[in-house]
Amino acid sequence: MMSANDRKTIAIWLLICCTTIFAMVVLGGITRLTGSGLSMVEWEPIMGILPPLSQAEWQETFRLYQAFPEYKIKNFGMSLDDFKSIFWFEYSHRVLGRSIGIIFFFPMVYFFLRRKVDAVLKPKLITMFILGGLQGLMGWYMVKSGLVANPHVSQYRLTAHLGLAFVIYGYIFWVAMDLLFPQQENNLLKDRERLQKRSLALSILVFITILSGGFVAGLKAGMAYNTFPLMNGQLIPEGLFSLSPTWSNFFENVTTVQFDHRVLATILFITIPLFWYSSIKNNPGKSLRLGLNLLLVMLAVQITLGISTLLLHVPVALAAAHQAGALILFTIILFVHHQITNSTHS
């Protein structure tokens, strides 16, 4: 049986890991938005920790990049200084990823050796570590899709990479919440089960909306139809199903992908306030009430960021803030769902 102090210590460590993953997601978005993701054409998990340290090494790294289609098609004539500006984003992204592995692995080993982890928690921590390793492989698998004749990262692989990051983050966050908030009294009375189902449905809907945003990013769909609420003067634009087979429109048609993201965001805009109202009127405890209020505020912020990003033709700062906002909204809905799930009838 873990002591209360051990539970708190491990929970804080897991939340620190969540914070670093949050930074990783934001930095990954910036790397994509600045066109930096294909600047490192080799994957060296161990030796790749060191950047070029001399002029000769920089020239060699640049020469490797020049051999790939992105340079020849998109950045032909780029100077070494310009190359450095995109290299550092991708390099920082990779180093942060390795740092997260270190921040997670060594404390985990310490907790295991000191027998501070019970039999229930141990497989969860091992699963987190395995998922982190798979995410590194997924990142390189994504990059490889752009090191081809058409230097464009696959929107499928980009969305898978983004989605897995959210899954890992959500799993770690949930386990941390289990440690910090064991089952507790919370005055939800007879509506707890109903609200639990609704909060789960909202959590899934938020995640699906985030995945749709991954396809928007992968196809650069935010660069099209920079008006709101209409798209090319129409509420339902033409060309939604212009591709064959029909299912491919949802993942490869710029018009359909952006339209879907708008529709999903609109559904959240309607359903989250309804959920907030039905929860608040059931006299929730202080922590759940705080989570519900934050959820409503963050929804307004995220919708504003999304519309602003679209209308202003996807400036890097706003687009990165929108991606960060998605993870914050995801965090809050998970917290709310966890509070409801772990509550008991009073």
pLDDT 10s digits, 148-172: 888 889 999 999 999 999 999 999 9
Q: Measured at the alpha carbon of residue 19, what is the angle toward residues 324 and 197, in degrees to the nearest 5?
A: 70
Cite the beta strand spans of the chain per DSSP E.
184-185, 343-344
Q: Do 206 and 268 form a contact (C-beta atoms < 8 A)? A: yes
Buried b (16+ CB within 10 A) or exposed e, 217-230: bbbebbebbeeeee
**Which residues on neighbouring strands pair with residue 344, listed in sequence order?**
185
Question: Which amino acid does the sequence have at 216?
Answer: V
Which tokens in the block code for residue 249?
Answer: 């429109």
Quote the crossing angle between the two packed helices 80-113 and 4-33, to the nearest 10°.
Answer: 170
For residue 346, name the pLDDT band (cuts at 50, 70, 90): very low
Q: Look at residue 188 in the predicted model and tell me its pLDDT.
A: 54
Residues 6+ apart with CB under 8 A from 104: 17, 128, 129, 132
Q: Is 231 helix (H, G, I), strand (E, B) or coil?
A: strand
Which tokens in the block code for residue 259?
Answer: 């339209």
Tens digits of per-residue pLDDT, 290-343? 999 999 999 999 999 999 999 999 999 999 999 999 999 999 999 999 999 987
Tens digits of per-residue pLDDT, 116-140? 999 999 999 999 999 999 999 999 9
Residues 6+ apart with CB under 8 A from 315: 309
What distance lies between CA 102 and its chain's CA centroid? 20
Domain boundaries, given as residue ranges, for the chain: 1-180, 181-346
Buried b (16+ CB within 10 A) or exposed e, 40-79: bbeeeeeeeeebeeeeeebeebbeebeebebbeeebeebe
Q: Do 90 and 29 form a contact (C-beta atoms < 8 A)? A: no
Q: Is 215 helix (H, G, I), strand (E, B) or coil?
A: helix
Which tokens in the block code for residue 243?
Answer: 């591709």
pLDDT at 189 over 70: no
Q: Look at residue 1 in the predicted model and tell me its pLDDT.
A: 72
Higher pLDDT, 346 or 337: 337
Buried b (16+ CB within 10 A) or exposed e, 11-39: bebbeebbebbbbbbebbbbbbbbebbbb
* CA atoms of 29 and 40, how far apart (whole Å): 16
Q: Look at residue 141 in the predicted model and tell me its pLDDT.
A: 92
Which tokens in the block code for residue 242?
Answer: 């212009």
* CA atoms of 284 and 289, how far apart (whole Å): 6
As a whole number, the mean pLDDT across the chain is 93
Tens digits of per-residue pLDDT, 254-291? 999 999 999 999 999 999 999 999 999 887 888 999 99
Question: Which amino acid does the sequence have at 1?
Answer: M
pLDDT at 185 over 80: no
* CA atoms of 35 and 153, how far apart (whole Å): 10
Distances (CA, A) of 207 to 204, 225, 319: 5, 24, 18
| pTM recorded for the entire structure | 0.94
Helices (H), 34-154: 55-66, 69, 80-113, 121-144
